[in-house]
Amino acid sequence: MKLKISASLNYRIVEPAELMLQIEAADGGGQRVIDAALDLKTPAEVVRVPAAAGVCTPVWLRAERALDVAYRAIVSVERDGADLAALAAVPLHRLPAEAIPYLNESRYCPSNKFHAFVERRFGDAEGGAKIRQMRDWIESRFTYAAGSSDAETGALDSFVERRGVCRDYAHVLIALARAAHIPARMASVYALGVDPPDFHALAEVYLDGDWHMVDATGMSRPGECARICVGRDAADIAFLTAYREVRLIEQTVTVDRA
């Protein structure tokens, strides 16, 4: 499937600031960037950071007064959604080095606090079947509610409240997976059919020797998502990280079939 992607960010910068931008679709890892352009409409110093194929392409900016940027791309998505129940967990001693950090708790995903719940609720399942049960449990019990969480909300908060947005659903699934000793990371994606249209967040779990996208909101499918970036949790995959005060003026994201 080919996706036509466009995104625009318009921010006011209170004082000269260093910014990290992560909005470009990754090339590789089940997708191919056919055409893309990043247009900075306001003056800024730009430094691109080399990244692993299929992961992300961070861009560092130093800007004054305003950030006005537009991104467009055509991405061919070449991954199929696997049957989770058919995927086996990888024994811990056979995990590749890149997967090991995603076994551990992180700022927004305190997985160590979920061990007892995971064993009690999902202890009879293994591997991908356990992940599928976790995903279904979250989707059926949580309410998607815009504005119900903020930058300080973590998986434990969302678990208690039983509501949130895509980042909160992903945080809970990641925490549960790690509590079951299955590597899990967070991905930012451009996803077809997300409502409201925006940067979308979901989980990726390491099963049967590869990473697999799992969206606990139920709004997206792996074959209709273009990965932007991956990390331990929302702190690593933010589309814009500012090291000074910035104020949002306008932001838009659209994803269509190309």
Give the mean model confidence (pLDDT) for residues 81-85: 89
Asked whether the predicted pLDDT for residue 32 surpasses 90, the reply is: yes
pLDDT digits (tens, 9 = 90+) for 189-243: 999 999 889 999 999 999 999 999 999 999 999 999 999 999 999 999 999 999 8
Three-class SS of 192-229 = CCCCCCCCEEEEEEEECCEEEEECCCCCCCHHHEEEEE
Q: Where are the domains of the chain?
A: 2-78+239-257, 84-237
Looking at 107-170, which runs of residues are DSSP E strands?
Answer: 143-144, 163-164
For 231, other C-beta atoms within 10 Å of its C-beta total 19
Q: Which of 102, 106, 84, 83 is nearest to 92 (CA)?
A: 102
Amino acid 252: pLDDT: 97
Amino acid 238: pLDDT: 94
CA 139, 140, 146, 150: dihedral to nearest 10 degrees? -70
Question: 216 or 43: whose pLDDT is higher?
Answer: 216
Amino acid 99: pLDDT: 97
Per-residue pLDDT band for 56 (boundaries 50, 70, 90) equals confident
Out of 16-20, 137-141, 231-235, pick the least confident: 16-20
Sheet (strand 17-21) strand order: 44-48, 59-63, 17-21, 240-242
- Residue 225 is encoded by which pair of tokens? 């998502």
Q: Which of 233, 211, 215 is nearest to 225 (CA)?
A: 215
pTM of the model: 0.95
| Burial 183-203, CB ≥16 within 10 A → b, else e | bbbbbbbbbbebeebbbbbbb
Share of the chain above pLDDT 90, in %: 84
Residue 147 CB-density burial (10 A; 0-12 exposed, 13-18 middle, 19+ buried): exposed
- Three-class SS of residue 234? helix
Write down the architecture of domain 2-78+239-257 according to CATH. Sandwich (2.60)
Radius of gyration of the chain (CA): 18
Asked whether the predicted pLDDT for residue 50 surpasses 80, the reply is: no
Per-residue pLDDT band for 7 (boundaries 50, 70, 90) equals very high
Amino acid 43: pLDDT: 79
Asked whether the predicted pLDDT for residue 55 surpasses 90, the reply is: no
| Nearest-angstrom CA–CA distance, 8 and 11 | 10
Amino acid 5: pLDDT: 98
| CATH code reported for the domain at 84-237 | 3.10.620.30
Amino acid 230: pLDDT: 96
Q: Which of 62, 56, 54 is nearest to 18 (CA)?
A: 62
Q: Report the relative pairing of strands 17-21 and 240-242 from DSSP bridges.
A: antiparallel
Find out whether 100 and 183 touch, Cβ atoms under 8 Å: yes
Sign of CA dihedral 108, 213, 241, 160: negative
Amino acid 80: pLDDT: 83
Amino acid 170: pLDDT: 98
